[in-house]
Amino acid sequence: MKLSIIICLYNTKREYVKKCLSSITKSTLSKEDYEILVIDDGSTEDYSQLIEYYKPTYVKTENRGHLASRLYGLMIAKGDYVAFCDSDDTVSVNYHAPMLKKAIKENCDIVINDWAFHSKNGKAYPKEDITIKNDITLENEDILNYLTNAQGKYHSLFVLWNKVYKKSVLLSAKKDLEKTDAIMERMGYSEDALLNFFAYKNAKKLSNIHTGYYFYRIHDEQSTLVADCEKRLESQIKSMAKTINTMKQNATKDQKTGIDEWGKLMSRVQYTTAKSLGLTQLEDAIKEAYGVDCLETSRPCDEVGYIANGLLGDSFDVVDGMLYDISKRSGEVSVNYDKKDTYVASVIDYMNTQMGKNIKLDKKADISIPKRKVSLTQKLFHSKLAYSVGLRLFKKGSKIRRKLKAKL
């Protein structure tokens, strides 16, 4: 077994779970190369019949939180490499296979791929994100330096779901993590940063690739109740501050400088969120957690990776589905497609060069992949100018900011 894809599940909408599993199984991955592990973290309903069609290994545990589920999945994984996927997210058709191939061919401990936001109004990738914008190959101590020098500004570096890891590196990271007192029952998004910190610390080679997208779903139904937000934000403050301190305790002097700036960024983000929700009672907790004397609101540069978004078009799912169907055909296949569509062209090139397919470009072919279209409204709301103006005029967490975000 080459790759284990670990999906952690907790009371996720059933339709999202099906879409998640479907996107992984309808891909360029060879069936014999991977397994899917679904770790159900004590959901109140049983998903076993729902997911039976996709033939994953399904394990239901008591509710202990995402990190515990991921680490449990890691311990039972059979693959030499591991990828994580959240149960409400999806991937494009040519996502994991090229990452796995690159990891094996170039002996990479970590391979990063591109990602995008998925809202009800479309899909858009952050063009200015450092790993999407650049080609990266790092070795030894430069790997962890890269993470800490980024100062927490780029999600692509510290989230778990856009990467393929060598399992041995994650197991070493787990051991290092268990030597600390940092693991909390509910860590939220800080658990990604913490596990990745030790994975980067143990890795010998990291590289990235641009072959597809992991789609991070933005939920419309997320709770906006102040009582719920206060409890959640208070937990995030404690866990992220704990993560920052743990990283500093295990970092070099130069790395600590970047981690300190990461902590200051988090204090600004969490203070801005608390202020927008009227939760002024959390101000002292933020000061104490991050060791700052006075609090500042977020700066435009704090979100530098997300100021400019590239739109994937209204028909992206249709295009991706057609590419999957083409990948299953044998013999010579003639396809009419726009060579200027870099995503389509790259997937077809991968099929020809890495999968042994024989796909020809033919303007008169019966199989015609449509051009992806972007509406004028999307273009306006995804412009760098609109985003920059929105950051300056409207408070983080405000009603109008949420309305604008819903237009994405």
pLDDT in tens, 129-148: 999 999 999 999 999 999 99
8 Å CB contact between 100 and 81: yes
- Assess whether pLDDT exceeds 60 at residue 221: no
CA distance 1 to 312: 33
Confidence of residue 223 (pLDDT cuts 50, 70, 90): very low
Arch. (CATH architecture) of 3-217:
Alpha-Beta Complex (3.90)
CA angle 47, 222, 46 (to 5 degrees): 10
Domain-by-domain residue ranges, the chain? 3-217, 315-368
CA distance 305 to 263: 17
CA distance 325 to 322: 5
Question: Concatenated DSSP letters for 265-313?
Answer: HHHHHHHHHHHHTT-GGGHHHHHHHHT-SS-----GGGGGGGSSEEE--
Q: Is residue 165 classed exposed, middle or buried when 0-12, 13-18 and 19+ CB atoms within 10 A define those classes?
A: buried
Strand ranges (E), 61-100: 81-86, 90-91
Predicted TM-score (pTM) of the model is 0.92
Could you tell me which of 301, 296, 310 has the C-alpha nearest to residue 150?
301
CA distance 130 to 42: 36
State both tokens at 83.
């990828």
- Assess whether pLDDT exceeds 90 at residue 231: no
Q: Which parts of 291-369 fold into alpha helices (H)?
A: 316-327, 342-354
Question: Alpha carbon 84 to chain centroid distance?
Answer: 9
State both tokens at 183.
């693991």
Tell me the residue type at 395. Answer: K
User: How would you classify the pairing of strands 110-112 and 205-208?
Assistant: parallel
Scanning the structure block, which residue is given the tokens 């020098």? 149
- Assess whether pLDDT exceeds 70 at residue 184: no
**Model pLDDT, residue 25:** 97
- Assess whether pLDDT exceeds 50 at residue 183: yes
Could you tell me which of 210, 27, 187 has the C-alpha nearest to residue 116?
210
8 Å CB contact between 116 and 320: no
User: How would you classify the pairing of strands 57-60 and 81-86?
Assistant: unpaired
Q: Which residues pair with 367 in a beta bridge?
A: 335
Tell me the residue type at 302. Answer: D
8 Å CB contact between 326 and 360: no
Mean pLDDT for all residues in the chain: 90
C-beta atoms surrounding 229 within 10 Å? 19
> What are the backbone dihedrals phi and psi of residue 336, each rounded to the nearest 5 degrees, phi first?
-100, 120
Buried b (16+ CB within 10 A) or exposed e, 109-128: bbbbbbbbbbbeebbbbbbb
Confidence of residue 392 (pLDDT cuts 50, 70, 90): low
**Model pLDDT, residue 229:** 82
Could you tell me which of 212, 206, 15 has the C-alpha nearest to residue 103?
206
pLDDT in tens, 50-78: 999 999 999 999 998 889 999 999 999 99
pLDDT in tens, 97-134: 999 999 999 999 999 999 999 987 789 899 889 999 99
pLDDT in tens, 259-317: 999 999 999 999 998 998 889 999 999 999 999 999 999 887 887 777 677 889 888 99
8 Å CB contact between 215 and 115: yes
CA distance 59 to 37: 8
